[in-house]
Chain A
Amino acid sequence: MALPARWSKNAEVTDSTDEVMEIQMGPSHPASHGTIKFNLKLDGERIVDCDVEVGYLHRGFEKMCEQGTWTQCFPYTDRLNYASPCINNVGFALAIERLLGVTAPERCQYARVIMSEVHRLADHLTCLGMAAGEVGAQSVMFYMMEAREFLYDLVEAVTGARLTVTWCRAGGITRDLPMDLGARITLAFSHLDGILSDCDKLLSRNRVFIDRMADIGVMAADEAISYGLSGPLLRASGVAYDVRKAHPYLVYDRFEFEVPTGNKGDNYDRFNVRFQEMYQSRRIIEQAMRTLPEGPIALDDPRIVLPPKERVYNSIEGLMNHFKLIMEGIQVPAGEVYQAVEGSNGELGFYVVSDGSGRPYRVRVRPPCFLGMGALSRMLVGHMIADIVATFGMINMIGGECDR
């Protein structure tokens, strides 16, 4: 096989300065966390066109949800946005509960709020830590990973797992909050506060960081709305839309918290919005812990919630109840519902269609970072290759959520 002419050393080198170079960045690239391919057309270092290819982590979530019962979908939801699994659990549980027409008990709702906010904190720490590490601030990355470890200790104490928590069910949660959760939270926050303060001092007025992040990836408010952006991406562009305030779910309407917004819609605003949201999440957790009521953690409804194991092993009715719920699934009335929760990337929506049986007919996840990736090429055109790393980091694409 002869080498093509352009490989030969004796061939004439034609260096056309207005030739556009096509290069592919990805799908496995050290600076992009997640399997994403950018098909770039470059004029030197400047991006002329960028086609973003996703789908490398597509595992058929929506198809698999149709194969099992309603409860068997919960482990799949953990693996959507795997940086904040409780939020996915909560969204799906709320969707089923709306179809059933029930509301989980108060203590369960407070617990879901606390764990959702803990996971929001963990997700923002992951996003900001990795983004800072990729633009060179490695100390910040390690500090934020350290802070995240304290939060993962909390999550493990409550749910038993660090990542694949599968904690929510239709009608309740599986494990109650531990008795010493208040003490654990105080310990975690004492470390978190110090680390956040350090990272703030290291980055927020850092000349190099601002040069890398400010005025890069600018997205105006009306365009952001048209692209379907939500969450920190939309709020950085100045639109104060937060599902927790606009369409409150669980008990978020009982807590006082602010929704930080930016004004320019550049990467620096996205960074600051996520950073300030961490303080607001902290506020919510403290208020929730102060007002946490006693009570059951799941509904006392044999059609929805599994009976306690003492009943299952010691009475025939408990055994039958358990058997029916496991084998046939919760009989959810026919209908459809769209349940939106505020994920750490934006509006995480679950559009669930039931045909009246124990298996879902259609489960659709509205993934916020999928829409963010759709807008990415618009944000990148005209910037340089190095800006891809910064902008992509600030979108917080989580492969599990984008590709499902």
Chain B
Amino acid sequence: MLLDQLKQRFGADIVAAESARDEDTIAIARERALDVMRALRDDPPFAFDFLADLTAVDWPARAPRFDVVYHLHSLKRGHRLRVKVATGEPDPWVASVAGLWKSANWLERECYDMFGIRFDGHPDLRRILMYDSFEGHPLRKDYPVNRRQPMVPETDPILNPLRPSR
């Protein structure tokens, strides 16, 4: 039902669509992602006003390596949707939806921190869970779980007080 409405509205923008285990999933192309997401939020039959989650999955064996996964809820209509946008090496990026949903601000920062995916248009893209001088992106499949990080050099706290990274 929802998938039919989506296919009717977006047509060729939807690269793939699937309905499994009572959940609807669509995959959209990266170039059209921001427009489609804006329509998903604003069009009355969809009204996805709640961005529940924004994360990524790393499929290193596949050509566009990352799948950025958005979980959209509509508190008004009661339906849910999963949207996937594929992006890959050498410079993985997707458009930022922080202008559409304010929850995307921190969620995209975490996705950048963990996967290294750049969110184009994000107001303040920096690491959120790891410390600033952390090297690498830990949730990538090629980051070994037992890798050691270089020691952070000690700085004089009076001459060089810890400044916030912003």
Chain B residues at the A interface, C-beta cutoff of 8 Å: 20-21, 23, 25, 49-53, 55, 57-58, 69, 71, 75, 78, 80, 82, 101-103, 105-107, 110, 114, 127-131, 138-139, 145, 158-159, 162-164, 166
What is the bound-complex CA distance between A398 and B166, given in angstroms? 24
A341 at the interface (CB under 8 A from B): no
- For B20, give its contact among A64, A241, A335 (CB under 8 Å): A335
What per-residue 1/0 map shows which CB atoms of A317-354 lie under 8 Å from chain B?
00000000000000000011110100000010101010
Interface assignment of A370: CB less than 8 Å from any CB of chain B = yes
**A388 close to B (CB within 8 Å):** no
- For this complex, 30 residue pairs linking A to B, each with C-beta atoms less than 8 Å apart, are A4-B158, A24-B164, A39-B164, A53-B164, A55-B127, A55-B128, A62-B114, A62-B139, A63-B138, A99-B21, A225-B49, A226-B49, A226-B101, A226-B103, A227-B102, A228-B50, A228-B103, A239-B75, A246-B78, A335-B20, A335-B21, A338-B53, A338-B82, A340-B52, A366-B53, A371-B107, A373-B106, A374-B102, A375-B102, A403-B129
Q: Tell me which residues across on chain B come within 8 A of A239, comparing CB atoms.
A: 75
In the complex, A198 has a CB within 8 A of chain B: no
Closest to B50 in A: A225
Q: Evaluate contact between A60 and B138: CB separation under 8 angstroms.
A: yes
Interface residue range, chain A: 35 or more
Best-surrounded residue of B49, B164, B166 (most CB of chain A within 10 A): B164
Q: A24–B162 contact, CB under 8 A?
A: yes
Residues of B within 8 A of A60 (CB): 138, 145
A349 with B129: CB separation less than 8 A: no
B129 pairs with A226, CB closer than 8 A: no
CA–CA, A370 and B110, complex, Å: 10
B159 touches A4 (CB 8 A): yes
Chain A residue numbers with a CB within 8 Å of B106 are 370-371, 373-374
Is residue A309 contacting chain B, with contact meaning CB distance below 8 A? no
Q: A60-B138, A335-B21, A349-B71 are in contact. Are A223 and B131 (CB under 8 A)?
A: no
Q: Are A351 and B53 in contact (CB under 8 A)?
A: yes
Q: Mark A33-69, 1 if CB is under 8 A from B, else 0.
A: 0000001000000000001011100101011100100
The smallest beta-carbon distance between B141 and chain A, in angstroms, is 8
